[in-house]
Amino acid sequence: MAAKDTTPARRTTIYDLAALAGTSASAVSAVLNGSWKKRRISQKLADRIMRIAEEQGYSVNIQASLLRRERSNIIGMIVPKYDNRYFGAIAEQFEARARRLGLFPVITCTQRDPDLELEAARELVAYRIDCLVSTGATDPDHISALCAAAGVRTINLDLPGSKAPSIISDNYSGALDLTRHILDRCEKDLGDKRPLLFVGGRATDHNTGARIRGFRDAHAERGIPVSEEFILACGYAAEKAERALAALDMPLPRGMFVNSTITLEGVVRWLNQNRPPSKHPLRYGCFDWDPFAVLLPGNIGMVQQDVTHLLDKVFEELETPSGAGEPILVPCILRTL
Amino acid sequence: MAAKDTTPARRTTIYDLAALAGTSASAVSAVLNGSWKKRRISQKLADRIMRIAEEQGYSVNIQASLLRRERSNIIGMIVPKYDNRYFGAIAEQFEARARRLGLFPVITCTQRDPDLELEAARELVAYRIDCLVSTGATDPDHISALCAAAGVRTINLDLPGSKAPSIISDNYSGALDLTRHILDRCEKDLGDKRPLLFVGGRATDHNTGARIRGFRDAHAERGIPVSEEFILACGYAAEKAERALAALDMPLPRGMFVNSTITLEGVVRWLNQNRPPSKHPLRYGCFDWDPFAVLLPGNIGMVQQDVTHLLDKVFEELETPSGAGEPILVPCILRTL
DNA sequence: CAAGCTTGCGCAATCGATGTAGCATGATTG
DNA sequence: CAATCATGCTACATCGATTGCGCAAGCTTG
């Protein structure tokens, strides 16, 4: 109890190491950041500095380093949620790949909240990120504008924008395939030829729009008219789906197209409480994949978005910028069950 | 095409703003970081600076700011995976709460890889984080040591360590409750009184150890002996569970205790391919919760870890440090089905 | 009206790492 | 042996924001 915690423990700096090694801070810096060969530092001095740095448990002050350097090598990503396999996989793979490229990934989860998205983007910009990947952003163009003003590139993932290159799934084709499959199975298994019910998503968001087009076109191919009441774009949240189903003003169709796994949670919950499958056999498919949802009775197909391929494109864009334009479409994988 | 991208677009600094406002950089800095009242800057000047900053879309250079300041207000977290609801919820809630406290959360996913855990910790330390929360870390003490050397506090979450305060679920009680429940149901539904099969996890990790103790004690209460072969601590990954089940050298028990949702994926996959439930009725429970797994036939209980409560404790510890000691146990919630 | 406050603000050092420019020293060449 | 060159290293300005210190002008007070 001599001095009461008089150790604010100033971290070792290159100056400390320089003193210990009897050399200059420049030499230490050069050795530690790898530029020492170009700077004609002898192997001997390099070794000594390295050894001392390790002994002292030295760790660069990135803040100081970045302040001086041109690029930060920090790459930011905003992501709506972590409550499903799709975004989870995006986050994991994004991190792994960024790291492989020597970049430092910083991912922020914005809860599908437009204000939070902007706030998070602003914060990341303050950290001088080199590039921001906006995943599933509500208003990607707003984010791009904000970043552009600070000279930060953006890439849109999952939902397209007009001010930055966008990489998204081919939602139309995915929905077309899934809808065809559900219609087939409804007819084959249940002898039902009526239109399916589309549940979940926001009618204003690009992906839901594309999926609804695919959904409608698959019906049109078969000459099945789809009236408005069959489209329940009630939002993504599980509770919203439950409420929408409860408020349904017609007999529940035998086939359903569920627009996301989180929506599926609500749908399944509602069905279990209101339409025991024994009494009301159903066939449904879901846009997005989940390993347990795959096993649900009645689930006959899940569209898995190709995360690896999507991120391939993101990192291609990162390395050789092509600029904004038509979204790059990545095919989905239909997993029939 | 006049000059080919001759705009490295140097970001606006406080000096630029000072020039525009006809004042000094100190004044600008004080106004923008809120310390201007203490520094007796007039309201009038403050307003002018604010206006100009907004017009210019100014954004502080956090690197420069942090370099000068004492604390960084960055709080780091490492997390093993994003492929399940538990860690997803931890990440989401951690971010939200950190943000509410004015901290900047940086989460890194370490893929259950001990080397990556250390590497990530080292990197976060370089960013001068104020505190690191190691979630489910393989070797939390190693991380704590590394951080301590740099004067960075650590808090262990989900898996305990001896060198930092640890906040974990009460795995023993959770496992005891779940095992009792499965045993009851096996007897009631199937008339089976044999021991359950424990599948998944690493025997060396604290949580699996505690759960196995709970598992054994619940059997002991009923006088059911559990031999070694009933404990399959084969790792967490789904494939490992499948292989372990395939290699099982005895008839498959009627009841199972599955140690995580990711393990459950493997178990269910294997069962579906090898023991159609119709021919081999089972009762199983799982430590960890998943909304779709809840609906699986045969699944009769899931233990949900209380993420909100766990994070309450983490942030309590953050605000009023108590130091290392016995892990703080947070009760789990058994969701019977 | 001099001494002492208060108000409002600017100067300059500082944080730690980086990289350019330059200075010794020894080796090589004509 | 002088001129040239390569080698190995150091000094110092710099990045942008923060902050202790101090200065000037206006206001009180006796």
pLDDT digits (tens, 9 = 90+) for B111-145: 999 999 999 999 999 999 999 999 999 999 999 99
DSSP codes of every residue in A90-126 = HHHHHHHHHHHTT-EEEEEE-TT-HHHHHHHHHHHHH
Residue B5 pLDDT: 39
- On whether any CB of chain A is under 8 Å from the CB of B268, the answer is yes
Q: Residue B72: closest CA among chain A residues belongs to which residue?
A: A63
pLDDT digits (tens, 9 = 90+) for B18-31: 999 999 999 999 99
Angstrom distance (rounded) from CA B327 to CA B140: 13
Closest approach of chain A CAs to the CA of B229, in angstroms? 27
Helix or strand (DSSP H, E) at B114: helix B114-126
Helix or strand (DSSP H, E) at B55: helix B43-55
Footprint of strand C on the protein (CB under 7 A): A 10-11, 13-15, 25-26, 29-30, 32-33, 35, 39, 60-61, 64-65, 67-69; B 22-27, 39-42, 44-45, 64, 67-68
Nucleotide nearest to A29 (CA to C1'): C17
Structural tokens at position A85:
């396999």
Residue B9 pLDDT: 62
CB contact under 8 A, A107 and B104: no
Query: In a mutagenesis test of the B interface, which of A103, A106, A143, A292 is the best target, namely the one with the most B β-carbons within 10 Å?
Result: A292
- On whether any CB of chain A is under 8 Å from the CB of B299, the answer is no
Q: How far is CA A317 from CA A95, A150, A305, A313, in A?
A: 16, 20, 19, 6
Residue B91 pLDDT: 98
Angstrom distance (rounded) from CA B192 to CA B179: 14
CB contact under 8 A, A82 and B92: yes
pLDDT digits (tens, 9 = 90+) for B183-197: 999 999 988 889 999
CB contact under 8 A, A82 and B96: no
Which DSSP category does A130 fall into?
S
Query: In a mutagenesis test of the A interface, which of B54, B58, B62 is the best target, namely the one with the most A β-carbons within 10 Å?
Result: B62
pLDDT digits (tens, 9 = 90+) for A260-290: 999 999 999 999 888 877 778 899 999 999 9
Residues with pLDDT less than 50, chain B: 1-8
To the nearest whole number, what is the mean pLDDT of chain A?
A: 93
Which domains, from first to last, does chain B contain?
14-67 (1.10.260), 71-164 (3.40.50.2300), 171-304 (3.40.50.2300)
Residue B142 pLDDT: 96
Least trusted range by pLDDT, from A159-163, A190-194, A315-319, B179-183 = A190-194
Query: In a mutagenesis test of the B interface, which of A13, A32, A63 is the best target, namely the one with the most B β-carbons within 10 Å?
Result: A63
DSSP codes of every residue in A221-259 = HTT----GGGEE-EESSHHHHHHHHHT--SPPPSEEEE-
CB contact under 8 A, A296 and B292: yes
Decide if pLDDT at A6 tops 60.
Answer: no
CB contact under 8 A, B82 and A91: yes
Q: How many CB atoms lie within 10 A of CB A125?
A: 23
Decide if pLDDT at A3 tops 70.
Answer: no
- On whether any CB of chain B is under 8 Å from the CB of A273, the answer is no
Residue B323 pLDDT: 83
The size of the A-B interface in CB pairs under 8 A is 123
For A10, the 3-state DSSP assignment is coil
Angstrom distance (rounded) from CA B21 to CA B45: 8
A9 band by pLDDT with thresholds 50, 70 and 90: low
Q: State mean pLDDT over A19-43.
A: 93
- On whether any CB of chain B is under 8 Å from the CB of A276, the answer is no
Nucleotide nearest to A15 (CA to C1'): C16
Task: Return the exposure string of A91-111: e unless at least 16 CB atoms fall within 10 Å of the residue's CB, then b.
Answer: bbbbbebbbeeebbbbbbbbe
Closest approach of chain A CAs to the CA of B217, in angstroms? 30
Decide if pLDDT at A36 tops 80.
Answer: yes
Structural tokens at position B295:
């609906």
CB contact under 8 A, A268 and B295: yes
Structural tokens at position B125:
């330390």
DSSP codes of every residue in B130-158 = SEEEEES-SSHHHHHHHHHHTT-EEEEES
Query: In a mutagenesis test of the B interface, which of A13, A14, A59, A268 is the best target, namely the one with the most B β-carbons within 10 Å?
Result: A59
CB contact under 8 A, A82 and B88: yes
Decide: A77 and A91 in contact? Cβ < 8 Å.
Answer: yes
CB contact under 8 A, A63 and B81: no
CB contact under 8 A, A290 and B293: no
Angstrom distance (rounded) from CA B90 to CA B310: 9
Decide: B36 and B23 in contact? Cβ < 8 Å.
Answer: no
Helix or strand (DSSP H, E) at B313: helix B307-319
State, as a whole number of angstroms, the distance between the CA of B53 and the C1' of C11. Answer: 23
- On whether any CB of chain B is under 8 Å from the CB of A69, the answer is no
Footprint of strand D on the protein (CB under 7 A): A 22-27, 30, 39-42, 44-45, 64, 67-68; B 10-11, 13-15, 25-26, 29-30, 32-33, 35, 39, 60-61, 64-65, 67-70
Decide if pLDDT at A5 tops 60.
Answer: no
Task: Kindly report which amino acid residue has its CA closest to the C1' atom of nucleotide C18.
Answer: A68
Residue B4 pLDDT: 36
Residue B63 pLDDT: 95
